[in-house]
């Protein structure tokens, strides 16, 4: 079951997240469906993609499917994790991907949205970066996705508080492109997608890849990378990581002890 709907109208493709039972959590199934849809669009003549939920949802996506996270002693966000594959697929997709947001965006879904090229959200939308809430050691390229969306101070506030940020503030600080009322967001997003699709696709494809390469060009020494990976291992081997996952599954507040 792929838990998505895929459509194409002219040169505009749409991927609609549709697993309300799990609040569009980024499960293997749902991510495989989105990646397959993007591959189909890339092989066809789609020149702009809209990634959205059903209209009127309270939760755009609840983020990584916590039931699919390891309970400890294994990197929860390794190279082949579905969320990592999804973010890389969006970033390297040959045409612009526009995120159309309604409702709450949580955890890895915030990174997924920020990996999109353009983000349009309703005023009621919120964005919550949640590793600290679960005790998860976020991964290096994921932190770079957040850093490319706002100032270091903003990323620290989002990451350390795990508090939802309102769309209006996210727009004001440049983290998202537009805030549009729920009753007109679909038309607004479709019009932008069509405007993009009427421009030169090869020129846009090159500019998207240039910006990805340039934005991702951060000097990280092998020693620096190894140090970060070592710190992350301490976290995913910790009591607090296992406690965060267990507490979520047992629907109780986590008792973090700092080790």
List residues with catalytic annotation. Answer: 64, 108, 138
CB 146 within 8 A of CB 159: yes
To ligand LCV, the closest distance from the beta carbon of 91 in angstroms equals 17
- Helix ranges (DSSP H) in 14-124: 28-43, 82-92, 108-115
Site string for ligand LCV, 124-163 (x = CB under 6 A): ------xx-xx-x-x-------------------------
* 182 vs 247, beta carbon nearer ligand LCV: 247
The Cα–Cα gap between 133 and 187 comes to 35
Give the E-state strand segments of 95-191 in sequence order.
Answer: 97-101, 104-106, 118-121, 126-128, 165-166, 178-179
* 41 vs 106, beta carbon nearer ligand LCV: 106
Coil, helix or strand for 44?
Answer: coil
CB 80 within 8 A of CB 137: no
79 alpha-carbon distance from chain centroid: 15
Only one of the segments 31-39, 85-93, 101-109, 184-192 lies at the binding site for ligand LCV (rule: CB under 6 A); that segment is 101-109
Give the angle 93-96-99 at the CA atoms, nearest 5°: 105
Q: Contact between 67 and ligand LCV (CB under 6 A)?
A: yes
CB 6 within 8 A of CB 15: yes
Sort strands 4-9 and 12-17 into parallel, antiparallel or unpaired: antiparallel
To ligand LCV, the closest distance from the beta carbon of 17 in angstroms equals 13
* 59 vs 176, beta carbon nearer ligand LCV: 59
Site for ligand LCV in 105-124 (CB under 6 A): 106-108
- Residue 97 pairs in a beta bridge with 49
Which of 111, 99, 110, 103 is CA-nearest to residue 188? Answer: 99
Q: Contact between 66 and ligand LCV (CB under 6 A)?
A: yes
To ligand LCV, the closest distance from the beta carbon of 131 in angstroms equals 4
Site for ligand LCV in 7-26 (CB under 6 A): 22-23, 25
Only one of the segments 66-74, 84-92, 204-212, 216-224 lies at the binding site for ligand LCV (rule: CB under 6 A); that segment is 66-74
Q: Which residue is nearest to ligand LCV (CB)?
A: 107
User: Site for ligand LCV (CB under 6 A): how many residues?
Assistant: 21
* 20 vs 187, beta carbon nearer ligand LCV: 20
Sites of contact with ligand LCV (CB under 6 A): 22-23, 25, 59, 62-67, 69, 104, 106-108, 130-131, 133-134, 136, 138
């Amino acid at each position: 079951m792929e838990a998505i709907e895929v459509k194409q109208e002219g040169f505009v493709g749409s991927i609609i997240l549709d697993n309300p039972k799990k609040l569009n959590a980024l499960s293997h199934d749902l991510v495989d469906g989105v990646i397959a849809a993007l591959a189909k669009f890339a092989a066809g003549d789609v020149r702009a993609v809209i990634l959205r939920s059903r209209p009127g949802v309270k939760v755009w996506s609840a983020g990584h499917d916590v039931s699919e996270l390891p309970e400890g002693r294994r990197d929860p966000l390794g190279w082949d994790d579905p969320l990592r594959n999804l973010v890389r697929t969006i970033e390297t997709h040959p045409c612009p991907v526009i995120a159309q947001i309604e409702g709450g965006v949580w955890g890895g879904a915030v990174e997924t949205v920020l990996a999109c090229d353009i983000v349009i959200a309703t005023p009621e939308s919120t964005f919550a970066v949640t590793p600290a809430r679960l005790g998860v050691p976020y991964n290096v390229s994921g932190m770079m996705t957040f850093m490319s969306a706002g100032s270091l101070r903003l990323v620290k506030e989002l990451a350390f508080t795990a508090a939802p940020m309102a769309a209006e503030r996210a727009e004001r600080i440049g983290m998202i492109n537009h805030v549009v009322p729920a009753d007109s967001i679909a038309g607004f997003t479709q019009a932008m997608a069509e405007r993009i699709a009427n421009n030169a696709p090869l020129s846009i494809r090159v500019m998207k890849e240039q910006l990805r390469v340039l934005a991702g060009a951060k000097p990280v020494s092998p020693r620096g990378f190894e140090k970060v990976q070592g710190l992350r291992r301490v976290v995913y081997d910790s009591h607090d990581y296992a406690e965060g996952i267990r507490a979520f599954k047992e629907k109780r507040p986590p008792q973090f002890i700092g080790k």
